[in-house]
Amino acid sequence: MTNLECYSDDTFDLAISSEVLEHIKEYGMERRAIEELKRITKQGGLLIIGTPNSEMLGEHSFFFDEINGLFNEYFSEFCIFENALESFGDKKCLWEKRLSEGKVGITISEIIDLSETCLPDNSQAEIKQGMEAGIFEFSTFTIDTTLLHNTHSWIIMAINNK
């Protein structure tokens, strides 16, 4: 992901990375990966990146300020979708603090089947309230969020405005 030289500049209308960015963060390579994805995406193209929220998973993930800062550095137009589950245990205060500071992404009110969701023992799942699932307009793109099932990650959409 940090060396996509087999692809020419401006090759794709869409680039997707799902649950990969966190694995190269520990090597300090997340910026290089974003640069490469941006390079191979056409002007006006869409990048979609999913990566875990540190409030849910701790290590191997990103805090809101980290992911927001990273995308703000490379894109003038992006949006961050929040995970639907609230943090639990000792991490719940991180979510509550960020919420009180207004440092939040877009939350889609989803129907989450908690029987299909892994939680730590003795944890009670709470679902964040947000926008009704449905059609979401982002720049020139129309996104249907009814199939979104995002329990623990950030999902970032960014427009490549080179």
Q: Across-strand partners of 155?
A: 50, 81
Q: What is the pLDDT of residues 118-152, one digit of tens each?
A: 777 777 778 888 889 999 999 999 999 988 888 88
Only one residue has tokens 């990048």, namely 47
Tokens of 24: 């190269």
Q: Tens of pLDDT along 77-111? A: 999 999 988 888 788 899 999 999 999 999 987 77
Q: Are 47 and 141 in contact (CB under 8 A)?
A: no
* pLDDT for the residue numbered 113: 75
Cα angle value 66/70/75 (rounded, 5°): 145
